Amino acid sequence: MTENNAAATTSGRVAIVTGGSKGIGRETAARLGREGYAVVIGYGGSKDSAEQAVKDVEQAGGRAVAVQADVADEIAVAALFDRAEQEFGGVDVVVNSAGIMPLAPLAELDLEVLDRVIRTNLRGTFVVNQQATHRVRNGGAIVNVSSSLTKLARPAYSAYAASKGGVEAITLILAREMRGRDITVNAVAPGPTATSLFFDGKPQELIDRITAEPPLERLGEPSDIAEIIAFLAGPARWINGQVIYANGGSVA
């Protein structure tokens, strides 16, 4: 499908993108805007970043608003969906890319940090998906963001990888629970991607080593992942109940 044809079929569709103020979420919001979506950018922290993400979508040709919401708070998430319906008339696509990634060996990880990772990454996915089951219109799509770290088993990532393993389980089960609704449910599992979430707290030696691992010998770019999410959100109607590992060949 050409980009122009894709825009013709997605014009008028409405997407919610959590974690949409930066990284993969922000790039995804702009990518959907390029295809004519109206986008509700859910963000947790920086209002300035969220407002810039709105401008990115508008410059790409879409419409957008930014709404602050804690993805693990069911009342806040319901209000996020309410805003999408009020502004744009409904919801067709939900992309759940909000997440945090504090790193430490399992033996040293503070359990309060573990609770925070599980709350945002796992409970947040559950809450957003639960609301999506009630709000997404037939013909729509739910796309969760997991991680290739569920397969890479890299030291210091136990909490993050465990939370993302749960994201994949939710995704596969929900796809089957949506039987008869004409709504696809998939997950994208990026490998190392050039975002602040990846770079923060890592020494250059580790960054260089991870960058060299894929056969393509580079980090993923947010645009690499956004392209896959946009495909799953729109034309990829026969891909359902799948985890797509997007990591340049680091792991199958």
The structural domains of the chain, with segments of one domain joined by +, span 3-189+225-246
For the record, the structure tokens of 179 come out as 């039987």
pLDDT score at 5: 47
In this structure, are residues 172 and 241 in contact, taking their beta carbons and an 8 Å threshold? yes
Task: State yes or no: is 160 an active-site residue.
Answer: yes
Q: How many CA atoms lie within 13 A of 23 on its CB side?
A: 24
* pLDDT given for residue 2 in this prediction: 47
Q: Do 235 and 1 meet the contact criterion of CB atoms below 8 Å apart?
A: yes
- For residue 91, what are the β-bridge partners? 136
Amino acid identity of 63? Answer: R
| For residue 7, pLDDT beyond 70 | no
Q: Given the structure tokens 């997007």, which residue do they identify?
A: 246
User: Above 60 in pLDDT, residue 153?
Assistant: yes
Render pLDDT for 108-139 as a digit per residue (tens, 0 to 9): 999 999 999 999 999 999 999 999 999 999 99
User: What is the pLDDT, as a whole number, of residue 198?
Assistant: 78
- The answer to whether the beta carbons of residues 96 and 170 sit under 8 Å apart is no
C-alpha distances (whole Å) from 82 to each of 51, 131, 141 are: 19, 10, 18
Amino acid letter for position 103: L
pLDDT of residue 9: 56
pTM: 0.92
At 154-175, the pLDDT tens digits run 899 999 999 999 999 999 999 9
Give helix 23-34 / helix 47-60 axis angle, nearest 10°: 30
Catalytic residue among 43, 157, 160, 245: 160
Give yes or no for a contact between 40 and 67, defined as CB atoms under 8 angstroms apart.
Answer: yes
What superfamily does domain 3-189+225-246 belong to in CATH? NAD(P)-binding Rossmann-like Domain (3.40.50.720)
pLDDT in tens, 190-244: 988 878 777 777 788 888 888 888 888 888 899 999 999 999 999 999 999 999 9
| Portion of the chain with pLDDT greater than 70, in percent | 95
Q: How far apart are CA 130 and CA 125, in angstroms?
A: 8
Is it the case that residue 179 has pLDDT exceeding 80?
Answer: yes
Q: How much is the pLDDT for 192? A: 85
